[in-house]
């Protein structure tokens, strides 16, 4: 049996990688991937806590599934926006998008 710690280490690394990626990348697509990494890290935690700590319940699994569904929807919208932005300004670098400031 793999200890719970191992799972949590993996998810922590994923979360930190996500945060790091979100901070450092200026490409919208890369930032979206980072956000997805963070979300998946939490999904892992939900699944793990449910499986190892509360094996009688089902809430963790459902929450993870729910979160996956939402992130799918969110990604679809985000990519749609990105495509539109790209069509307008030929770039998806985040610091180039400043049209809405004025």
Partner 1 sequence: MEITIFIILLPLLSFVFLGLAGKWLSHRAAGLFGTAVLGVVTILSYYTAYTYFTAPRLADGTFATLVPYNFQWLPLFLGAMKFNLGVLLDPISVMMLIVISTVSLMVHIYSFGYMHGERGFQRYYAFLSLFTMSMLGLVVATNIFQMYLFWELVGVSSYLLIGFYFTKAPAVAASKKAFIVTRFADLGFLIGILIYGFYVGTFDFVGPNTSAAVGGAKMIPLALGLMFIGGAGKSAMFPLHIWLPDAMEGPTPVSALIHAATMVVAGVYLVARMFPLFIAFAPNVLHIVAYVAAFTAFYAAAVAIAQTDIKRVLAFSTISQIGFMLVALGVCTSVEPEAGGLGYMAAMFHLFTHAMFKACLFLCAGCIIEQVHSNEMEMMGGMRKYMPITHIAFLFSCLAISGIPPFSGFFSKDEILSACFAFNPIMGWIMTAIAAMTAFYMFRLYYGIFWGKENIEHHTAHKPHEAPATMTIPLIILSVITFFFGWTVSFGHFISPNGKSFDSHLETSVAITSVVIAVLSILIARTMYRNEKQVLADSLQKRFKGLWTAAHHRFYIDEVYQFVTHRIIFGCVSRPIAWFDRHVVDGFFNFLAWSTNALSYQIRGFQSGEIQQYTYVFLIGTLLLILLLIL
Contacts to partner 1 by CB under 8 A = 19, 22-23, 26, 31, 94-95, 98, 101
CB of 89 to partner 1, least distance (A): 15
Neighbouring CB atoms inside 10 A of 8's CB total: 15
Integer angstrom CA distances of residue 52 from 6, 10, 38, 43, 47: 12, 16, 21, 14, 9
CA atoms within 13 A on the CB side of 4: 10
Closest to partner 1 by CB, 32 or 64: 32
Closest to partner 1 by CB, 25 or 52: 25
Closest to partner 1 by CB, 21 or 60: 21
């Amino acid at each position: 049996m793999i200890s719970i710690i191992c799972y949590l280490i993996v998810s922590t690394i994923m979360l930190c990688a996500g945060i790091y990626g979100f901070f450092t990348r200026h490409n919208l697509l890369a930032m979206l991937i980072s956000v997805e990494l963070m979300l998946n890290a939490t999904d892992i935690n939900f699944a793990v806590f449910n499986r190892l700590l509360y094996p009688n319940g089902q809430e963790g699994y459902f929450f993870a599934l729910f979160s996956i569904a939402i992130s799918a929807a969110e990604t679809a919208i985000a990519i749609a926006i990105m495509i539109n932005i790209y069509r307008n300004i030929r770039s998806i670098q985040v610091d180039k998008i400043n049209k809405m400031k004025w």
